[in-house]
A and B are shown apart, each in its own frame.
Chain A
Amino acid sequence: MSIEIKNLSHIYSQGSPFESIALDDISAVIDKGSFIGLIGHTGSGKSTFIQHLNVLLKPTMGQIFIDGIDINDKSTKVKSIRQKVGLVFQYPEHQLFEETVEKDVAFGPENLGLGDAEIKKRVKDALTMVGLDYDKIKDKSPFELSGGQMRRVAIAGVLAMKPSILILDEPTAGLDPRGRDDILNVISELHRREKITVILVSHSMEDIAKHVEKIMVMFDGKIKIFDTPQNVFSQVDLLENIGLAVPQVTYLMRKLKEIDPLIDQNIYTVQQAKEEIIRMMRRRKDA
């Protein structure tokens, strides 16, 4: 699924004294099967932007095409777009409502009007995919689970609709490091195996650097940069000016470069840093 955004603007409460411009003339093309990281400080318009991609918000101006179809056109079925584009909101566990985990995950597929057998299969697959034991958890109340488990159930609720584009709004906010890694690994795995397009909104540069293929940087309702992690994280000053940062290891490598000019400072994951530091130590030992 390629997504094409053309001159998209969104103004909240237009015409009232509380009017605010949340998106300001955004254009971009997101390729089919890519893994995009979306970063920007609070209030930069990330949530507003992604809600446009499955018609929860309508553009004040501009158009969005998914696979060539104008999603805001009157003849386009909203439900089919929402099936294609799965959106996991921030704190998705706050939207659980059913008596059992199984019923809650089944809510999406039921709304799509699928048959019972298919629904059951999808629920089982989705719960397994997020690393939960289907037989153990299916009859539990979602409200008696731990925070991390609730979050996974909620994500499974979206996965069960089998979207070909998956968007997650800060899916790891408020989780412990273990829960955070688990969820990100599930998403990465899903992207690799099913070749689905993923858009990940996150405040953690480390998480972004580790998983995504391209980074979109938003500032003040505009897209500032849309490029590979390499090219984004080399612009340290620009990122810092708009209230962001580069991964911790990148700062470390820049410091090391002051000691050893031969060091490559364009490094943004711990793994790369490890290799580069070993190389540096070998070089210095030989000398």
Chain B
Amino acid sequence: MLKDVTIGQYYPTNSFIHKLDPRTKIHFTFLYIIALFTIDNFYGYLAAFALLMGITLVSKIPVGYILRGIKGLVFIILITVLINLFMTPGTPKFEIWRLTITEEGLEIAAFMALRLIFLVTGTSIMTLTTSPIALTDGIEYSLRSIPGVKKYAHELAMMMTIALRFIPTLMEETDRIMKAQKARGADLESGNLVQRAKNLIPILVPLFVSAFRRADELAIAMEARCYRGGHDRTRLNELKYNKRDVYAYFVILGMMVAIFATRWL
């Protein structure tokens, strides 16, 4: 169910990657995404594969766990592949009924599928190795260095932290309310589309009421402890780059250059 989605999930181990500064991982993910889009031949993907494989091994996260992230995207990948397969003009290779698959289509379809898979896997490695709190800290620090956004960096990060914190709570709450209404004979599984939408009312109303109540209570609890946003606010734990981050930046930049260089192969 919802629990199977791995994007955004954290998998704690005590690896080198987990200990890196979240900024290092965020910046790396950005660079990695850019590098992925510069790839124009299969050697590029080979280099990206080597990079991901290396990071996965160091991170001590089971490969199967990372690949689970792709499962949720099978549908999107499939559509991308099919569209590219049939819609690309060029030299015909096969003919199925009235659709033609071209050589170029085959190549682009494979390319797109690989690109999506690499995108998802790379970003899931970031979230799997970084706790949500560290991640938002990293985002806050990174946003601060962008002029114009600096003012809102703290607020944005705080909102993200709170949202992430409440996802499991709200899922539990939904489960509870669904059970309570089922105990009163609510039928959530049958009926046509309109009927089913109507059946959701007994779940959505209490869910919203409870979400607002929680938001209100949290706001009061924060104010009671004198919270007033980012202005002049100091932190208990400042993010500090470590020696290992410097090594990581060197290794990563080297890899990026390598991926980029495959364009000339």
- What distance in Å separates the Cβ of A68 from its nearest Cβ neighbour in chain B? 22
CA distance A193 to B179 in the complex (A): 29
- What distance in Å separates the Cβ of A249 from its nearest Cβ neighbour in chain B? 35
| Chain B residues closer than 8 Å to A233, beta-carbon distance | none
The answer to whether residues A108 and B179 also contact, given A94-B210, A97-B206 and a CB cut-off of 8 A, is no
Question: Is A111 an interface residue, CB under 8 A from the partner?
Answer: yes
A111–B206 CB distance below 8 A = no
| Chain B residues closer than 8 Å to A83, beta-carbon distance | 185
Question: Is B215 an interface residue, CB under 8 A from the partner?
Answer: no
Tally A residues with Cβ within 8 Å of B.
24
B184–A161 CB distance below 8 A = yes
Question: Is A107 an interface residue, CB under 8 A from the partner?
Answer: yes
A157–B202 CB distance below 8 A = no
Question: Is A153 an interface residue, CB under 8 A from the partner?
Answer: no
CA distance A133 to B187 in the complex (A): 30
B176–A97 CB distance below 8 A = no
The chain B residue with its CB closest to the CB of A96 is B206
Question: Is B186 an interface residue, CB under 8 A from the partner?
Answer: yes
The chain A residue with its CB closest to the CB of B186 is A111
Contact with A along B205-227 (1 / 0, CB 8 A): 11001100000000000000000
Question: Is B257 an interface residue, CB under 8 A from the partner?
Answer: no
Contact with A along B171-203 (1 / 0, CB 8 A): 000001101111111110000000000000110
| Chain A residues closer than 8 Å to B210, beta-carbon distance | 94
Question: Is A56 an interface residue, CB under 8 A from the partner?
Answer: yes
Question: Is B98 an interface residue, CB under 8 A from the partner?
Answer: no
Chain A positions 98-136 with a Cβ under 8 Å from a chain B Cβ: 107-108, 111-112
| Chain A residues closer than 8 Å to B231, beta-carbon distance | none
- Majority SS at the chain B contact face: helix
Say which one of A85-93, A176-184, A237-245 lies at the interface with B. A85-93
CA distance A262 to B177 in the complex (A): 53
Number of A-B contacts (CB under 8 A): 57
CA distance A79 to B181 in the complex (A): 12
CA distance A157 to B185 in the complex (A): 11
Question: Is B3 an interface residue, CB under 8 A from the partner?
Answer: yes
Chain A positions 153-190 with a Cβ under 8 Å from a chain B Cβ: 157-158, 161
Chain A positions 34-84 with a Cβ under 8 Å from a chain B Cβ: 51, 54, 56, 79, 82-83
A158–B205 CB distance below 8 A = no
| Chain A residues closer than 8 Å to B182, beta-carbon distance | 56, 82
B206–A56 CB distance below 8 A = no
Interface hub of B180, B182, B184, B185 (most chain A Cβ within 10 A): B184
| Chain B residues closer than 8 Å to A107, beta-carbon distance | 181, 184-186, 202
A89–B202 CB distance below 8 A = no
Can you list 24 residue pairs at the A/B interface with Cβ under 8 Å?
A: A13-B3, A51-B179, A54-B183, A56-B182, A56-B183, A82-B183, A89-B180, A92-B180, A94-B176, A94-B177, A94-B206, A95-B177, A97-B202, A97-B206, A97-B209, A107-B181, A107-B185, A107-B186, A108-B184, A111-B184, A111-B185, A111-B186, A158-B183, A158-B184
- Apart from A83-B185, A94-B176, what 13 extra A-B contacts exist at CB < 8 Å? A56-B183, A82-B182, A82-B184, A86-B183, A89-B183, A94-B206, A95-B181, A96-B206, A97-B202, A107-B185, A111-B184, A112-B185, A143-B209
